Chain A
Amino acid sequence: MGRITLDKVRKAFGDVEVIPPLDLRIEDGEFVVFVGPSGCGKSTLLRLIAGLEDVSGGEIRIDGTDATNLSPAKRRLAMVFQSYALYPHMSVRKNIAFPLKMAGLDKAEIDKRVEGAAKVLNLDSYLDRRPGQLSGGQRQRVAIGRAIVREPSAFLFDEPLSNLDAALRVGMRLEISELHKRLATTMIYVTHDQVEAMTMADKIVVLQAGHIEQVGSPLELYRTPRNKFVAGFIGSPRMNLIEGPEAAKHDAHTIGIRPEHLMVTPEGGTWTGKIGVSEHLGSDTFFHVTVPGFAEPLTVRAGGEVDLHYDDEIHLTPDPAQIHRFDAEGLRLA
């Protein structure tokens, strides 16, 4: 079980309110990602759930019981930190065994569980090494191992992949997703990387300045962002946001169109512009197009081998069904 409910949870450091009263429900077994720019309060929110920070108001319930004032140890949650936070003076075996030792399990049971976790995470041959002798990816696995052995009701991940290089990050992302499928335990995952959020989450919580901007599945957020912030934050490359007369044509203050929803046509088209920088990824090409009258260049996704170059003229047509409309406050118009 791992159902977590936040009811009007608030956090202030002195006079500064970093998280205004906030409600959130996390269902058992869900993979929830808190995503937002740095300083949006996502890590603080996770630490409030973990019990590493005291709430300034409101209530946190874990599996129906009030956990607001419980110590971290009593919440039955496991956490994986950005810096891994392994105990440097202990071997891998002892690191993984530590929570079990704290729980007072007998030695045979501890050994069994540590061996089991090591097998799952491919750490068998490193059990007697110290964390200092391991690579970043291995350390991350040890940190995960330490979290899974105690069979917690939920896992908390605080930007666990940001210290790894790009290739390793993709691999670990898959491993964590697989782990979630296998264990079916609630996971709360904090990241500033919307790609991680999109690829891993059952449910994404987009945060800005301590506020929840939107909660939903990755595709819900992608298809119907509630406001301009979510629209710009979810999706890569980010959505083009256009203001002024072009938006007015659609009865909106701002319209948004994703790079993948702009069609490149040889001639005609709704908008005509000049190609600036182009980024060739092989599978796709992203053009940054300056259109006269637009405040910012548009990003356009085209096929991998389009024969267009710097300063060429390009004709663009937005898919009318994929135009997002926002009012002056930035809220989505139906």
Chain B
Amino acid sequence: MARAVTTQRKIAFTALAWIIGLAIFFPILWTILTSFKTEATAIADPPVFFNFDWTLENYTVVQERSDYMRYLWNSVVLAVGSTIFGIIIAVPAAWSMAFVPGKRTKDVLMWMLSTKMLPAVGVLYPIRLILIELGILDSKGALIFILMMINLPIIIWMLYTYFREIPGEILEAARMDGATLKDEILYVLTPMAIPGIASTVLLNIILAWNEAFWTLTLTTVDAAPLTAFIASYSSPEGLFYAKLSAASTMAIAPILILGWFSQKQLVRGLTFGAVK
């Protein structure tokens, strides 16, 4: 039911929403603006907003100094790789939890969630030492595994919530219709769960892409993704705000664009089951 809302209230809330939205977006906007300034304008006091000489120089320098494409490639490999492996493990897990729950299913789900409350730094050294011992520090494979493990609870939870919405009777109908477990999963369950799987994949790619703690501490050169690329510009070489901004812009651009185009799908996925 529509509720009567006065015009003043509407205006007030719209304004508030815009202010909060802009406040959240401001650092990103500022970074993007700064990336088009010269180093001198970047640190000008008072700061300048739009009335400066726009330049692409920072981007050229950044591209020349470091191999952007390599970092980008690593980011893609880590984000997509960890997501694919995560989904392969999470789909059957979420499936069994949603459709054939046992006595301990709820406990397992809570326990998985509780691992997200563990401060990552608490296990940094054990994991780092293990990787060194195994000789796989700074390897993409190891990082894919770690990123997958970090996000697995979220993937399983999201898929579980999704699968729970699929009526059991439809699966039973498939069984009555002569479908084997494989047919049931292939022809009935998966097609019905596609929207849920898609938004889970998207969210997980974004999470893995933005992950900085493990990617920074466990990589040096070979496996270093865009997070490391940005970090390399905050080095003690001096104050290169404009170049740091250009690097940041280049690092966040791909995921920002992906997020922008898939926001509908993401919102649907994240709020699924909340409203019937």
- For the complex, what is the distance from the CA of A79 to the CA of B170, rounded to whole Å? 11
Asked if residues A98 and B175 are in contact (CB atoms below 8 Å), the reply is no
A222 at the interface (CB under 8 A from B): no
Complex contact A73–B188 (CB within 8 A) = no
B179 touches A102 (CB 8 A): yes
Question: Is A52 located at the chain interface by the 8 A CB criterion?
Answer: yes
B174 CB–A CB distance under 8 Å: yes
Among A73, A82, A89, the residue within 8 A (CB) of B176 is A73
- Cβ-closest chain A residue relative to B166: A88
Known A-B contacts A85-B167, A87-B188; the reply to A52 vs B172 at CB < 8 A is yes
Question: A52 to chain B: which residues have CB within 8 Å?
Answer: 172, 175-176
Contact A73 B172 (CB under 8 A): no
Task: Tell me if B178 is interfacial: C-beta within 8 Å of chain A.
Answer: yes
Contacts of A146 in B (CB 8 A): 173, 177
CB-CB nearest in chain A for B190 = A89
Q: Contact at B167–A72, with CB atoms within 8 Å?
A: no
Interface residues on A, range: 20 to 34
Given contact pairs A83-B167, A87-B170, A99 touches B192 in the complex (Cβ within 8 A): no
B180 contacts the other chain (CB 8 A): yes
- Confirm or deny: A77 has a beta carbon within 8 angstroms of a beta carbon on chain B: yes
Q: For residue A77, which residues in chain B have a CB less than 8 angstroms away from its CB?
A: 176
The A interface, classified by DSSP as helix, strand, loop or mixed, is: loop
Known: A81-B172, A85-B170, A85-B172. A102 touches B188 (CB 8 A): no
A79 near B179 (CB under 8 angstroms)? no
Q: List chain B residues, Cβ under 8 A from A50.
A: 176
Given contact pairs A83-B167, A88-B192, A98 touches B174 in the complex (Cβ within 8 A): yes
- Chain A contacts for B170, CB-based, 8 A: 85-88
Partner of B175, one of A71, A83, A89, A103: A71
Give B170 Cβ to nearest chain A Cβ, in Å: 5
Q: From B192, which residue of chain A is reached at the shortest CB distance?
A: A89
Residues of A near B191 (CB, < 8 A) are 89
Verify if B183 is at the interface (C-beta below 8 Å from A). yes
Enumerate chain A residues within 8 angstroms of B188, measured Cβ to Cβ.
87
A72 to B178, CA, bound (A): 7
Is A228 located at the chain interface by the 8 A CB criterion? no
Cα distance A85–B166 when bound, in Å?
A: 10
Residue from A71, A85, A89, A150 within 8 A of B173 (CB atoms): A85
Query: In the complex, A83→B176 CA distance in Å?
Result: 15
Interface residues of B in 214-255 (CB under 8 A from A): none
A79-97 interface code vs B (CB 8 A; 1 in, 0 out) = 1011101111100000000
- CB<8 Å pairs between A and B, sample of 29: A52-B176, A71-B175, A72-B172, A73-B177, A73-B179, A73-B180, A77-B176, A78-B176, A79-B173, A82-B169, A83-B167, A83-B169, A85-B167, A85-B170, A85-B172, A85-B173, A87-B170, A87-B174, A87-B192, A89-B191, A89-B192, A98-B174, A98-B179, A98-B187, A99-B177, A99-B178, A102-B177, A102-B179, A150-B178
Q: Give A contacts to B, CB under 8 Å.
A: 50-52, 71-73, 77-79, 81-83, 85-89, 98-99, 102-103, 146, 150
Given A72-B176, A87-B192, 5 further pairs, Cβ under 8 A: A88-B170, A98-B179, A99-B177, A102-B183, A146-B177
